[in-house]
Amino acid sequence: MSETFRPARPDELEEVARLEAHSFPSPTRTHRWWNEFLRTGPHGGLEALWVAEHEGRLVGACQLLWLRQWIAGTPMPVMGLAGVAISPTHRRRGLAQRMLVAGFEHARERGDVASALFPFRASFYEDLGYGLAGEAHQYQLPPALLPDDKTERMKVRLVDTAEDLEAMKAVYAEAARLLQTGQLDRSDRSWRGSWGDDEQAAVVYWSDDGVPEGYCIVRYRADLPLDRRYLEVEERAWLTIGAQRGIYGWLSTLGDQWREIAYRAHPEEGFGDRIKEPRLPLLQAPSWRLWFPSATLVRGPMFRVLDVAEALRKRSLATEAELTLKLEVEDHQVPENRGPWKVRIEGGAMQVERWTHGRCDAELAMPIQTLSRIYIGAIAPWQALAGGLASLNGGDVVKMLDRAFEVPKPWMFDRF
């Protein structure tokens, strides 16, 4: 079988666009749309295209985007996987898996320590070493159910100047670096993909000292039939409690125009405790005796460590404890990741080298999916061990590991 996996050439853009249109048919995403998107998309262009060639014909393509993702306060070089397309005549042959495994090696060579994606089917990417790494609690509710702090709401201003846009960028950058894990280190190009549509609106919360401390971007879903229209909160970020209250208050005033708001809350936000009635509308979801449904769990982002040693070296830890682990990783796609590794935790960082001999405090073993989820904070080590996703032999170090890897639950607005 004559197969080649490589970066796309500029003269192949038309062929790649045709492959994408076959794999993602849509009235709006035509061949012409894909041609433009693959060339000038918000997260990458021709430099990110990766193709599969069989007997001289292009039969597969995807994007290996050059991204940086904030994890535990550090911007990590991460490959964003998107647009995986296989020719209609070459499906169910394992081609996509082989194309992506070759893409892993290419991403490792260019310095990416991990990969992130939004899956079309989670099980497909779990087989390639990815683990679920992000969830939200989705509410659809009347605006009046949100709390209205009139004092803080008065500090919210509509985004309509270049200064306002720079304020949003500043809030996002600080929140992604200090308060969240999983956000992208956005470029001006990626910001153009998040803000600027005619159907969008945004506000910035300004402190009494004139400092931007929060923002919210919404989309007017007026494209839907009149009885199904709603206001969609696409993203929000804040640095202070006052900004959070001000944004909630602003949203609460929009009931004259919008019967409902769609709001996706971070799992640790406590949004359900702030609204006046957390119960979902009758018959929208089944109840459980006297219990009632409150929100829909939404999952999506997936994450995979591509270079175990380098990823661990770059990852900061929330502990000053000292610990030596022998780590073995099950990785069917990247054998270089398997180890065993000697991981020395000291001074809030990890020193990593191949295990040869010596003493360790504990021996830890897990598949790459589990390591990836622990790494980004989707699950704690104790959850992995309790669920049979990892094994530990030796000393009682679980609580120490939990503290070391603790970060807020992963959160990502950007779609790619």
Per-domain boundaries in the chain: 3-112, 137-299, 307-405
Taking 90 as the threshold, does the pLDDT of residue 281 lie above it? no
pLDDT at 285: 84
Instruction: For the beta carbon of residue 90, count every other beta carbon within 10 angstroms.
Output: 16
Arithmetic mean of pLDDT, 207-222: 97
Task: Tell me how far CA of residue 206 lies from CA of 55, 209, 211, 213, in angstroms.
Answer: 60, 8, 5, 6
Going by the DSSP 8-state scheme, the letter that residue 231 receives in this structure is: E
Could you tell me the fold of the domain covering 307-405? Nonspecific Lipid-transfer Protein; Chain A (3.30.1050)
Q: For residue 213, what is the enclosing H or E element?
A: strand 212-220
Judge whether 181 and 72 are in contact, CB under 8 Å.
yes
Q: How far apart are the C-alpha atoms of 29 and 19, rounded to whole Å?
A: 12
Q: Which residues, 6 or more positions from 144, have their beta carbon under 8 angstroms from its beta carbon?
A: 252, 255, 276
Domain 137-299 identical in fold to domain 307-405: no
Long-range contacts of the stretch 195-203 (C-beta < 8 A, 24+): 195/165, 195/168, 199/223, 200/234, 201/158, 201/159, 202/158, 202/159, 202/164, 202/168, 203/156, 203/157, 203/158, 203/159, 203/247, 203/250
Judge whether 340 and 327 are in contact, CB under 8 Å.
yes
| Residues of the chain above pLDDT 70, percent | 100
Q: In degrees rounded to 5, what are phi and psi of residue 62? A: -160, 175
- What is 3-112's CATH superfamily? Gcn5-related N-acetyltransferase (GNAT) (3.40.630.30)
- The model's confidence at residue 415, banded by pLDDT at 50, 70 and 90, is confident
Q: For residue 141, what is the enclosing H or E element?
A: strand 135-141
The 10s digit of each residue's pLDDT in 242-280 is 999 999 999 999 999 999 999 999 999 999 999 999 988
Taking all residues of the chain, what is their mean pLDDT, rounded to a whole number? Answer: 95
- Could you tell me the two tokens for 144? 């009046």
Could you tell me the fold of the domain covering 137-299? Aminopeptidase (3.40.630)
- The model's confidence at residue 284, banded by pLDDT at 50, 70 and 90, is confident
Task: Tell me how far CA of residue 332 lies from CA of 128, 337, 371, in angstroms.
Answer: 8, 9, 14
pLDDT at 282: 75
Q: Of 179, 190, 124, which is closest to residue 377 (Cα–Cα)?
A: 179
Q: How far apart are the C-alpha atoms of 245 and 174, rounded to whole Å?
A: 19
Q: How far apart are the C-alpha atoms of 367 and 268, rounded to whole Å?
A: 27
Arithmetic mean of pLDDT, 343-370: 96
Burial label for 225, CB within 10 Å (0-12, 13-18, 19+), is exposed
- The model's confidence at residue 359, banded by pLDDT at 50, 70 and 90, is very high
| Residues of the chain above pLDDT 90, percent | 92
Find the range with the poorest average confidence among 247-256, 366-375, 393-402: 393-402
Q: Of 51, 56, 60, 53, which is closest to residue 10 (Cα–Cα)?
A: 51
Instruction: For the beta carbon of residue 208, count every other beta carbon within 10 angstroms.
Output: 7
pLDDT at 1: 61
Q: Give the three-state DSSP class for 63.
A: strand
Arithmetic mean of pLDDT, 210-226: 96
Q: How far apart are the C-alpha atoms of 74 and 61, rounded to whole Å?
A: 30
- The model's confidence at residue 352, banded by pLDDT at 50, 70 and 90, is very high
- The model's confidence at residue 287, banded by pLDDT at 50, 70 and 90, is confident
- Of 146 and 284, the structure prediction assigns the larger pLDDT to 146
Arithmetic mean of pLDDT, 76-88: 97
Cis? peptide before 340, omega within 30° of 0: yes
Taking 80 as the threshold, does the pLDDT of residue 403 lie above it? yes
Q: How far apart are the C-alpha atoms of 413 and 318, rounded to whole Å?
A: 25
Task: Tell me how far CA of residue 109 lies from CA of 79, 81, 327, 331, in angstroms.
Answer: 11, 16, 23, 18
Give percent helix, percent strand, percent coil of the chain, each to the nearest 5: 30, 30, 40
Taking 90 as the threshold, does the pLDDT of residue 130 lie above it? yes
The 10s digit of each residue's pLDDT in 23-80 is 999 999 998 999 999 999 999 999 999 999 999 999 999 999 999 999 999 999 999 9
Q: How far apart are the C-alpha atoms of 189 and 185, rounded to whole Å?
A: 11
